[in-house]
Amino acid sequence: MSDRATSERGSGSGNKPWLDATELFGLEAASLNKAAVPAERQARIDAGREVRKVVPRSSFAEWRPAANRADPISILEDQAKERVPELVPIRYSRMLASPFAFYRGAAAVMAADLAAEPTTGITAQACGDAHLMNFGAYAAPDRRLVFDLNDFDETLPAPFEWDLKRLCASIEIAGRSNGLGAQDCRAAVERAAEAYQAAARLLAGLRFLDAWYTRIDIERVLEVVQQSAEPENAKATEREVRKAQRRTNLRTLEKMTVIEDGRLRIREDRPLIERYSPADSEALEAIIQASLEDYAATLQPDRKMLFERYRLVDFARKVVGVGSVGTEAFMALMMGDRDDDPLFLQMKEAKTSVLAPFAGASKYSHQGERVVQGQRLMQAASDSFLGWVQGYGPRRLDYYVRQLRDMKGSIEVESLNAGRLLGYGELCAATLAKAHSRAGDAAAISGYVGSGPVFREALSEYSSRYADQNELDHALLVEAVASGRVEAAPALA
């Protein structure tokens, strides 16, 4: 059976593969150097192949919980000890919603599971939480909409396959949550793994500069989808892209602010967006202002000059994400010298990566800097206002700073049918390969993953088995809430 026939087995979607990495990355013929592979690079490809003798690719299929596997609820409870107590029930509430929602919040659980398995030892800058919802669109500094990884709270150098396993398992879990059958889920995972193989192979053959500058423009994604996907799926993708393009600072100004006593203020939406009492706000404003001044020092000089043209107008606490709920996060409204020149920033607490106990501590003592530097390594284009700061006050928490919204958009995973899950999984996997190639050994990764069906079939089997485990872990959380062991808030958006 051919590789393509194997990858299409039981897809049930009627979709042919639409992803071509060369086209997706927008590479010109001149970039595809047909010269012989340099001896040094070929040696690294061969070294990657040699790793298969120690950790066979077929072994990726093997998932069994370790005999001493930690109780997943205990892991979540340990994380809760370092979080804002009144927000922790919101986190549990969001994780209760479905096995996929639980998976999004359980990066620490999976990190421990991944560390208990044999690893390739082929290291890249890892996202640390590479599930489907942590990819998306955003505006690059040149104002073009790009697609890339967009969450780096857990980033750290680690075995490349940890990211890939987390992504593939998320595809299986999302498919199940959407009511897709086993064949559709399996096909989506296999095709994602195949996309990773193809992108890794392509990137391993490029000149270093060509690989470094490679990025995925959303307009190119739209062209590929419109040409290759079913019409209804192509239209759904286009709607999501256009929605992201409308998420500008000006649109955010309309939606998230209100005039109170003649002053522009962030609109409250308790407990998700909460302003501070007048008695506290004056002291806190001084703290936030001082923090922003320290943050500005981490920006490039040209961007620092631009940032300093804005003034702080208001700030509020904002609950974000699923796994991040309970960590401190603030939004700051900055304004230029006119009423239609807003800049919204998010200050988000950065804790030690969930990978650190297993992959080793970061070389950056400031966890916000760890996040920012990891993001800059993995993304082809990063937010102009990406920086870090240490907060004032008794706890001196580490934060990273970025724009709150700047044409940021993510797909509604809950709406993905079989065909769209296939295509989106491919897109995310190719994106992950690109990210790994920037701060990892693309040649060794390509040599290990190869191009045949063994690797992708093993990942598909692993994803199915880990999805079973995730459902059991989700059930444990349901039981823990029912028994009163942990408290969940009423359902919130």
Give the rounded distance of the alpha carbon of 286 from its chain centre. 33
**Domain annotation covers residue 119:** yes
Residues 300 and 398 in one domain: yes
State the Cα–Cα distance between residues 77 and 62, nearest whole angstrom: 28
Q: Are residues 150 and 74 in the same domain?
A: yes
Domain boundary among 387, 403, 419: 403
Q: Please check whether residues 20 and 90 belong to one and the same domain.
A: yes
Give the HSE-up count for residue 99: Cα atoms under 13 Å, Cβ half-sphere: 20
* Whether the predicted pLDDT of 20 surpasses 90: no
| 96 & 216 share domain | yes
| pLDDT computed for residue 298 by the predictor | 96
**pLDDT confidence of residue 159:** 98
- CA 348 → CA 139, 332, 418, 434, distances in Å? 20, 11, 35, 26
Query: Across the strands, what pairs with 403?
Result: 345
Same domain assignment for residues 182 and 291: no
pLDDT at residue 441, as a whole number = 94
Identify whether 491 is part of a domain: no
pLDDT at residue number 248: 80
Of residues 221 and 159, more confidence is placed in: 159
Task: Say what the pLDDT of residue 244 is.
Answer: 79
Asked if 115 and 67 touch (Cβ cutoff 8 Å), the reply is no
Give the pLDDT confidence score for residue 6 in this predicted structure. 35
pLDDT over threshold 80, residue 208: yes
Asked if residue 106 is part of any domain, the answer here is yes
- Taking CA atoms, 59 is separated from 105, 186, 346, 354, 459, in Å, by 27, 17, 42, 24, 9
The residue-averaged pLDDT of 423-443 equals 95
**Is residue 95 domain-shared with residue 53, that is, in the same domain?**
yes
Of 88 and 249, the structure prediction assigns the larger pLDDT to 88
Residue 14's pLDDT band (cuts 50, 70, 90): very low
Mark whether 80 and 186 lie in a shared domain. Answer: yes
Backbone torsions φ then ψ of 314, nearest 5 degrees:
-160, 165
Is 204 a residue whose pLDDT tops 80? yes
For residue 309, name the pLDDT band (cuts at 50, 70, 90).
very high
Q: Which residue has the higher pLDDT, 230 or 332?
A: 332
Considering the domain architecture, whether residues 397 and 421 belong to the same structural domain is answered as no
pLDDT band at 38 (very low <50, low <70, confident <90, very high): confident
Mean pLDDT over 384-406 rounds to 87
Point out which residues pair with 388 in neighbouring strands: 400
In a domain, 66, yes or no: yes
**φ, ψ (nearest 5 deg) of residue 353:** -60, 145
Per-residue tokens: 414? 């809950």
Task: List all residues 6 or more positions away from 201 whose beta carbon is below 8 Å from its beta carbon.
Answer: 446, 451
Tell me the mean pLDDT in the region 284-296: 88
Q: Are residues 80 and 225 in the same domain?
A: yes
pLDDT band at residue 493 under the 50/70/90 scheme:
very low
| Residue-level pLDDT at 4 | 34
pLDDT band with cut points at 50, 70 and 90 for residue 407: confident
Please provide the DSSP assignment of 328-388 as one string.
-EEEEEEE-SSTT-EEEEEEEE-PPPTTHHHH---S-SSHHHHHHHHHHHH-SS--TT-EE
Q: What's at 16, amino acid-wise? A: K
Is 345 within the bounds of a domain? yes
Range of the domain at 272: 249-403
Mean pLDDT score of the chain, rounded to an integer?
A: 88
Most confident segment among 24-28, 180-184, 418-422: 180-184
Q: Tell which wins on pLDDT, 192 or 394.
A: 192
**pLDDT at site 9:** 36
| Residue 105 pLDDT > 50 | yes
pLDDT(326) > 70: no
- Do residue 91 and residue 202 come from a single domain? yes
* Residues 387, 267 share a domain: yes
Range 231-249 burial, b when 16+ CB lie within 10 A, else e: eebbebbeebbeebeebeb
429 exposure class (CB count in 10 Å sphere: 0-12, 13-18, 19+): buried
Q: What is the pTM of this model?
A: 0.91
Q: Give the mean model confidence (pLDDT) for residues 151-168.
A: 97
Q: Do residues 369 and 357 share a domain? A: yes
Range 259-266 contact pairs with CB under 8 angstroms and sequence separation of 24 or more: 263/313, 264/313, 264/314, 264/333, 264/335, 265/314, 266/314, 266/315, 266/316, 266/331, 266/333
Last residue of a domain, one of 359, 377, 403: 403
pLDDT tens-digit readout, 119-140: 999 999 999 999 999 999 998 9
pLDDT category at 261 given cuts 50, 70, 90 is confident
Please state the separation of Cα 316 from the chain's center in Å: 24
The answer, yes or no, to whether residue 231 has pLDDT greater than 90, is no
Answer whether 396's CB lies under 8 Å from 365's CB: no
Q: Is residue 488 part of a domain?
A: no
The pLDDT of residue 102:
97
Does residue 490 fall inside a structural domain? no
- Domain boundary pick from 388, 403, 418: 403
Type of residue at 116:
A
Do the beta carbons of residue 112 and residue 381 sit within 8 Å? no
Domain count, the chain: 2
Tokens matching residue 24 = 């997706």
Residue 335: inside a domain? yes
Query: What gap in Å lies between CA 354 and CA 262, rounded to an integer?
Result: 45
Number of Cβ within a 10 Å radius of residue 302: 9
